[in-house]
Amino acid sequence: MKQLRRLRPGDLVEVRAPLEILQTLDENGALDGWPFMPEMIEFIGKRFRVRRRVLKTCISIGNSTNMRAVKAADVVILEGLRCSGVDHDGCQKSCAIFWREAWLRRVDAAAPLPGADPDGIERLRARLKTTSGPETYFCQASELMKVTGPMRRPERFTMCFTDVRVGNCSALEMAGRIGVWLYWRIRRILLGVYAPGTNQKTPTETLNLRSGELVEVKSLRGITETLDARAHNRGLYFTPDMAELCGRDERVERRLEKIIVDGTGQMRQMRNTVYLEGAHCGCSHVAFGGCPRNEYSYWREIWLHRKPERIDSHS
């Protein structure tokens, strides 16, 4: 297959035909360890803009987040595409999907769209797998530890320059990200964990929130009362960037009940936790230079108040 020139943010690409993708995959339905997941099939033949090149990514391991370098040089994220989890027993993590350039082609907006290939899609689907064991799932999140490597301290700095060079952000944007990280790093050294609580065993609350409901994020003081000394509630970290929403009205996007854990492939059950519309992880607070995954922030229901909807009256 002809080697594509490295894609850059803003490029228009088309997801290749199923048989072209199939030719790149091994017996596990992966390319150099990166799975082509069944949830990606619906995007075949469609066109999207490249959001950014993926040089590094954060991985949540236990109660910590680590930044690791991506081994492959041709991984990108496309605008607006997240994994539905439908083929992985309804995983609700909504990960940004990683795309290898071999699965894409750069196109002109005026070029005709390709026709459907149902037979090719079925042959491709037959190659793809979703589990690697009786209780272990196989997906891009489960394989992240294998397709990434540790970053030495000098690499963390050079990677920031590379992010600018490949067009992922401007020099000013990167300077801002580094500044945010430095602020919170120094603050942690001088003052300790942000918003620590005093609970030995953190409390829980069940609101049974549903998609579309209006909620008010509690005050920082009210949230701190639910946290332990590490600013966690039942293992879930209340990050500094989440405090920016304290006191604001937000909409529930949906409930969060189960997710596949990064690097393990195990399904974790979640309780009393929701996503809020547009509330994504502020990676610059915890990851030097930021991260491309743009994951949703996880909100415990005990951090929220349900608000009644206002009914407009007309005289």
Q: What pLDDT digit, counting tens, does each position of 243-261 carry? A: 999 999 999 999 999 999 9
pLDDT of residue 60: 78
pLDDT tier at 63, thresholds 50, 70, 90: low
Reference 286, options 199, 194, 190, 217; nearest CA is: 194
pLDDT of residue 315: 41
Is 271 domain-assigned? yes
CA distance 310 to 206: 23
Mean pLDDT of 128-143: 95
Is 208 domain-assigned? no
Residues 131 and 239 in one domain: no
CA distance 127 to 121: 10
The residue assigned the tokens 């048989």 is 19
Asked which of 153, 175, 192 is the last residue of a domain, the reply is: 153
Mean pLDDT over all residues of the chain? 92
Asked which of 137, 153, 169 is the last residue of a domain, the reply is: 153
Q: What is the DSSP letter of 287?
A: S
Is 123 domain-assigned? yes
Residues 125 and 220 in one domain: no
Is 41 domain-assigned? yes
pLDDT in tens, 286-298: 788 888 888 999 9
Is 159 domain-assigned? no
CA distance 261 to 270: 11
Residues 134 and 227 in one domain: no
Residues 18 and 149 in one domain: yes
pLDDT tier at 1, thresholds 50, 70, 90: very low
pLDDT > 70 fraction of the chain, expressed in percent and rounded: 96
Please report, for residues 29, 34, 185, 229, 287, the alpha-carbon distance to residue 237 in angstroms, rounded to integers and kept in the order given: 34, 28, 16, 11, 14
Bridge pairing between strands 56-61 and 30-31? unpaired
Residues 141 and 245 in one domain: no
Q: Which residues pair with 61 in a beta bridge?
A: 64
CB atoms within 10 A of CB 56: 23
Is 238 domain-assigned? yes
Is 270 domain-assigned? yes
Reference 266, options 135, 151, 96; nearest CA is: 135
Dig out the tokens for 177 from the structure: 């990200």
**Residue type for position 201:** K
Reference 209, options 310, 304, 93, 92; nearest CA is: 304
pLDDT of residue 61: 72
CB 41 within 8 Å of CB 25: no
Q: Is the C-alpha dihedral spanning 224, 226, 229, 232 positive or negative?
A: negative
Is 45 domain-assigned? yes
**DSSP H or E segment with residue 121:** helix 118-127
Which domain does 43 fall in, by range? 12-153
Burial class (CB in 10 A: 0-12, 13-18, 19+), 82: middle
Residues 42 and 146 in one domain: yes
Asked which of 126, 153, 180 is the last residue of a domain, the reply is: 153
pLDDT in tens, 181-220: 999 999 999 999 999 999 999 999 999 999 999 999 999 9
pLDDT tier at 275, thresholds 50, 70, 90: very high
Reference 24, options 115, 32, 54, 132; nearest CA is: 32
Q: What pTM, to 2 d.p., does this model score?
A: 0.91
Q: At what angle do helices 171-191 and 153-165 cross, to 10 degrees?
A: 150
Number of domains in the chain: 2
pLDDT of residue 43: 97
CB 18 within 8 Å of CB 44: yes
pLDDT of residue 20: 97
